[in-house]
Amino acid sequence: MIKFQPEQDDLAFDRTHIWHPYTSLLDPLPTYPVVSAEGVMLKLEDGRQLIDGMASWWSAIHGYNHPHLNQALAAQSQQMSHVMFGGITHPPAVALCRKLVELTPQPLEAVFLADSGSIAVEVAIKIALQYQTSRGNMRKQRLATIRRGYHGDTFATMAVCDPINGMHEHFRGVLPEHYFVPAPEITPEQTWDPAEIAPVQVLFEQHHESIAAFILEPIVQGAGGMRFYHPEYLKALRALTERYDILLIADEIATGFGRTGKLFACEHANIVPDILCLGKALTGGYMTLAATLTTLDIAHSIGRGPHKVLMHGPTFMGNPLACAVAHASLELIQRGDWQQQVPRIEQELRAGLAPCLQGEGVVDVRVFGAIGVVEFAQPLDVARVQAVLVEDGIWIRPFGRLLYVMPPYISETKHIAALTAAMVKISNIFP
């Protein structure tokens, strides 16, 4: 077991040499040393315990150090940790893909195992483009999406992230230019107005001949703003994509596996996409693995196309350790505890976060499934807010103007109460 080396000042080394997500080595933000995690608790080096409100960015849905997942990982490591997927297959990959085909709506029956969420989206884009060329639609080479989306950090995915709070300005001239329509504004609680889909209709009328696919996060827009929109929008979009021969890519990397109260967020609208991206919670937060699913119809069409093969194949594709843990995580999903846990957490978040609205700087409080969001008028000072939260035994990472939680499904009532109390406190002390 590797431990921190105080005499070598590991934290100073970290600050000086190691990039964390979206950080500067010139002006690093504080990092907190976590040495172990169990259930919903993160344990700091000094022995303090923090209740985790983030589930390690949507992923640790069953909690940390879970015996069933540990067992799957240990058992597979005794067989083989990795083997190339080119020309070789293995039991964990087959078992996992069987479960993915079983759990996802028909007719999504073709699976590509990707090594991260961003790559799953890259593969989805390749599938869409190769499908269109295979049918002689050589001009269908662009994508369409809604604003305020987030689909990953690689170049193809950045190009479909929100053009303003995404990274377009930093990489102008390098990113391909796609079509954007306004993000839907009508929330799931409001009455839907068909006028909201009109911009998509107009876009498709004018440009359908150059659009291969429409990509979006169903119902919940995650990292691009933590926004929830009406299922009727998704339903209307599905109808339009069908009418104009445009594929629909549902990015359920954040929403998949029960987070919104349904196994997949598309179920809120009763629609099935042509391509589905899964990631984050796929391995219960143990390791990186993602998947892109599509129909056999689309897969076979690519097979008949000019390239014949799907043009992707990462070195660590179908990693057996990751597949074995993902398979074990899906077993827990199939056991179904999340079906009681998520609605209970939703209720507790609603009640617990309501007082945040009294905070002077708070402009909105919203909850959907096991996701709770407090939106402020001004960006939060991450380091200061985080220091207050850690002092109170809470791990929540503010992002821009947002303070939000998506806790592990195993969080008990007392844990949700502590998280919401901390968020109320922040709403009262930070303008």
Ligand X SMILES: *Cc1c(COP(=O)(O)O)cnc(C)c1O
Catalytic residues: 22, 150, 251, 280
Which residue lies nearer to ligand X by CB, 253 or 302?
253
Q: Please, which residues bridge with residue 275 across strands? A: 249, 294
Tokens 């940790």, residue?
81
* Inter-residue long-range contacts of 311-315, CB under 8 Å, 24+ positions, other chains counted: 311/126, 311/130, 312/112, 312/114, 312/122, 312/123, 312/126, 313/85, 313/86, 314/114, 314/115, 314/119, 315/84
Cα(219)–Cα(254) distance, rounded to whole angstroms?
11
Of the candidates 210, 208, 230, 209, the one whose C-alpha atom is nearest the C-alpha of residue 221 is 230
Angle at CA of residue 107, ends 103 and 109, nearest 5°: 65
Helix (H, G, I), strand (E, B) or coil at 59: coil
Cα(359)–Cα(427) distance, rounded to whole angstroms?
5
Instruction: Assess whether the previous peptide bond of 398 is cis (omega < 30° from 0).
Output: no
Task: Give the shortest CB-184-to-ligand X separation in angstroms.
Answer: 16
Which residue lies nearer to ligand X by CB, 150 or 404?
150
Cα(92)–Cα(72) distance, rounded to whole angstroms?
10
Which residue lies nearer to ligand X by CB, 39 or 372?
372
Which residue lies nearer to ligand X by CB, 56 or 116?
116
Q: Which residue is nearest to ligand X (CB)?
A: 117
CB neighbours of 414 closer than 8 A, spacing ≥ 6?
none
Task: Give the shortest CB-146-to-ligand X separation in angstroms.
Answer: 12
Which residue lies nearer to ligand X by CB, 92 or 279?
279
Helix (H, G, I), strand (E, B) or coil at 319: coil
- Site residues for ligand X per CB under 6 A: 116-118, 121, 150-152, 217, 222-223, 251, 253-254, 279-280
